[in-house]
Amino acid sequence: MPELPEVRAQAARLEAQFTGRTLARFDPLSFTALKTVVPSPADAVGAELGGLTTRGKYLLMAIGPVTFVVHLMQGGRLVDDEKQSAKPRGGLARWRFDDGSAMLLSEFGREHKAGVWVVAGDTETQQPVIGLGPEADSLSVDDLAARLAGHSTRLHTALRDQRFVAGLGRRLANEICHRARLSPFASTKKLTRDEVERLHQAIADAIADSLEYESTQHSMTKSADRPARVHHRTGEPCPECGDAVRAVEYTSYTVNYCPTCQTGGKVLADNTTSKFLK
């Protein structure tokens, strides 16, 4: 799933291209695309695109009196729709502008969970944005320490919880834990001040490095192409110490880590019922 850096970079690309263009029409291409009924997307017709921003993993497109909130989910993409074919592969929704250009939301794969919400007013108080935690790279060390102390769970779980901090997913959670030299299953309430400071720096660095890379690309990258030190690197040497990167496999995701760098040399049991290292 695209995370904060990928979504921000794509928002910047589309904003540079489409800001100031007037919406001519909005076309849902799939009955699953539009997640709201009121307000109507037609309320934005005739208004200019004010810009594209992001909130966590969501893209926010402000057009006149409403904001289109887009979630790409696992296989979604919001792109410049050059071909504008009548039945685009995986097409979910299209924004057409008065100069003949268009944006297309599409989703590949079987889940079909990507979608669009149309919101009037403050997006922070309405679905789907309401309840999101602060942007992952916006917290001070003290703010992060306070949230960790009040959120008793495993570190990797907390980082992926959008109510804890917004914008991080599986890849960045793996990368941040490795950069911070912390076990992915460390208890959030038991982290020392030094560990919190390392974690804070790791969050900032991982997001900044990912955003820098993503910003050099012409379009949103595929998950397998995004730079990673440990994520999806099972069996490969750790770039810091040379130890083999290990994995704890779950049904829908994998936790990758380096025993030498993160768990004092101990290998975590690779099943979901074991007592993990704290």
Inform me whether the pLDDT recorded for 275 exceeds 90.
no
CA 116 to chain CA centroid, Å, is: 16
Q: Are residues 50 and 78 in the same domain?
A: yes
Share of the chain above pLDDT 70, in %: 97
Question: What pLDDT score was predicted for residue 276?
Answer: 45
pLDDT > 80? residue 178:
yes
Residue 118 located in a structural domain = yes
> Cβ(138)–Cβ(149) under 8 Å?
no
Claim to verify: residue 93 and residue 52 sit in the same structural domain = yes
The mean pLDDT of the chain is 94
Tell me if 205 is assigned to some domain. Answer: yes
Length of the chain: 278
207 within some domain: yes
Domain contains 102: yes
Q: Are residues 152 and 111 in the same domain?
A: no
Q: How far apart are CA 246 and CA 269, in angstroms?
A: 10
Q: Which amino acid is at 15?
A: E
- Of the three residues 101, 125, 149, the one that is the final residue of a domain is 125
Segment 99-115, tens digit of pLDDT = 999 999 999 877 778 99
Same domain, 105 and 184: no
Nearest to 199 by CA among 227, 164, 223, 226: 164
Domain-embedded: residue 248? no
Same domain, 155 and 224: yes
Q: Which of 100, 125, 150 is the last residue of a domain?
A: 125
Closest by CA to 220, choosing from 80, 126, 51, is 80
Q: What is the CATH number of the domain that holds 166?
A: 1.10.8.50
The first and second tokens of residue 75, run together, are 């296989």
* Euclidean distance between CA atoms 250 and 119, whole angstroms: 35
- Domain assignment present for 258: no
pLDDT tens string 13-71: 999 999 999 999 999 999 989 999 999 999 999 999 999 999 999 999 999 999 999 99
Is residue 121 domain-shared with residue 13, that is, in the same domain? Answer: yes
Three-state SS at 88: coil
Q: Do both 147 and 182 map to the same domain?
A: yes
- Measured CA to CA in angstroms, residue 38 lies from 30, 47, 60, 122, 167 at distances of 18, 18, 17, 14, 27
Q: What is the pLDDT of residue 222?
A: 83
> Is residue 118 domain-shared with residue 48, that is, in the same domain?
yes
* Residue 241 pLDDT: 97
Show the domain range for 168: 141-231
For 104, phi then psi, to 5°, come to -125, 130
User: How big is the CA angle at 20 (ends 17 and 23), to the nearest 5 degrees?
Assistant: 95
Number of domains in the chain: 2
Mean pLDDT of all residues in 201-217: 96
Does the structure show a pLDDT above 90 at 244? yes
* pLDDT reading at 200 higher than 80: yes
Q: Do 119 and 28 sit in the same domain of this protein?
A: yes
Domain assignment of residue 157, yes or no: yes
What pLDDT band is residue 274 in, cutting at 50, 70 and 90? very low
pLDDT above 50: residue 278: no
What does the angle CA 9 – CA 3 – CA 18 come to, to the nearest 5 degrees? 30
Indicate the range of 171-175, 182-186, 209-213, 271-275 predicted with least confidence. 271-275
- Is residue 239 in a domain? no
Q: Is residue 48 located within the same domain as residue 154? A: no
Residues 16 and 87 in one domain: yes
Q: Is 30 exposed, middle or buried (0-12, 13-18, 19+ CB in 10 A)?
A: middle
Please identify, among 125, 158, 182, the residue that sits at the C-terminal boundary of a domain: 125
* 156/120 same-domain check: no
